[in-house]
């Protein structure tokens, strides 16, 4: 797999995330991963969720090649930037939109764009699931997360850990309600948003 990138973090967290998804989701559905990166997540999830049809995406050519290398039998990944007004998906609606470790290594505008796109493409009752480290107002932030946040902001002032309250507010504006927050290994969270019925 000469084009395959390897993320140690993705290798560590793919199984805990899979176990959470298996508890949360029905036996079958259609899913889109946003910012698939190396492709380790989508390859692992698709192998262990046979009733689900997965579509991977990423804005970079390098990541798209890596996804194809890790997931040779999978659907061709989409070159997709969440900031695009039209995600140009081959089919909708989706039952799940999943994204891991994107919001803190991209400009804040990607949060609103993710919520808008998920709301457009999710079926009623579909889920948006986001994995990563967050700042939770009123709770003590782990020293490792504070150090990570400082390092991110040194690398790019537009990056950094996001406030859970601010992320939730962006979601609510698009008809997505935070249904559950799950604690995950290494001081990460899994945020589960549901698309509210149209009134």
- How many distinct structural domains can be found in the chain? 1
Please report whether residue 130 resides in a domain: yes
User: SS3 breakdown of the chain: % helix, strand, coil, rounded to 5?
Assistant: 40, 25, 35
Please report whether residue 145 resides in a domain: yes
pLDDT tens-digit series, residues 57-113: 999 999 999 999 999 999 999 999 999 989 999 877 999 999 999 999 999 999 999
125, 95, 175, 121: CA torsion to nearest 10: -140
The answer to whether residue 1 scores a pLDDT higher than 90 is no
Element (H, E) at 171: helix 164-172
Please report whether residue 1 resides in a domain: no
Please report whether residue 3 resides in a domain: no
**Looking at residue 91, what is its pLDDT?**
76
pLDDT tens-digit series, residues 160-186: 999 999 999 999 999 999 999 999 999
**Looking at residue 92, what is its pLDDT?**
75
Give the whole-angstrom CA distance, residue 79 versus residue 75.
Answer: 13
Please answer whether residues 73 and 50 qualify as being in contact, where contact means their C-beta atoms are separated by less than 8 angstroms. no
The answer to whether residue 55 scores a pLDDT higher than 80 is yes
Give the whole-angstrom CA distance, residue 186 versus residue 32.
Answer: 25
Residue 41, domain CATH: 3.40.50.150
In sequence order, what are the residues at sequence separation of 6 or more whose Cβ sits closer than 8 angstroms to the Cβ of residue 6? 38, 40
Give the domain extent around 92.
8-195
């Amino acid at each position: 797999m000469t084009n395959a990138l390897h993320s140690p973090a993705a290798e560590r967290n793919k199984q805990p995330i899979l176990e959470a998804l298996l508890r949360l989701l029905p036996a079958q559905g259609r899913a889109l991963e946003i910012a698939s990166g190396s492709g380790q997540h989508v390859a692992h999830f698709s192998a262990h969720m046979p009733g689900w049809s997965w579509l991977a995406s990423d804005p970079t050519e390098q990541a798209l090649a890596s996804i194809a290398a890790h997931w040779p039998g999978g659907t061709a990944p989409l070159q997709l930037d969440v900031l695009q007004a039209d995600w140009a998906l081959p089919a909708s609606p989706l039952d799940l939109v999943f994204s891991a470790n994107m919001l803190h290594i991209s400009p804040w505008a990607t949060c609103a764009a993710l919520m808008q796109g998920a709301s457009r493409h999710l079926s009623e009752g579909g889920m948006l699931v986001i994995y990563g480290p967050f700042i939770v107002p009123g709770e003590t932030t782990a020293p490792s997360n504070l150090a990570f946040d400082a390092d991110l902001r040194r690398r790019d002032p537009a990056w950094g850990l996001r406030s859970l309250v601010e992320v939730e507010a962006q979601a609510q504006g698009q008809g997505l309600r935070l249904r559950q927050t799950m604690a995950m290994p290494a001081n990460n969270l899994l945020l589960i948003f549901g698309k509210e019925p149209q009134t």
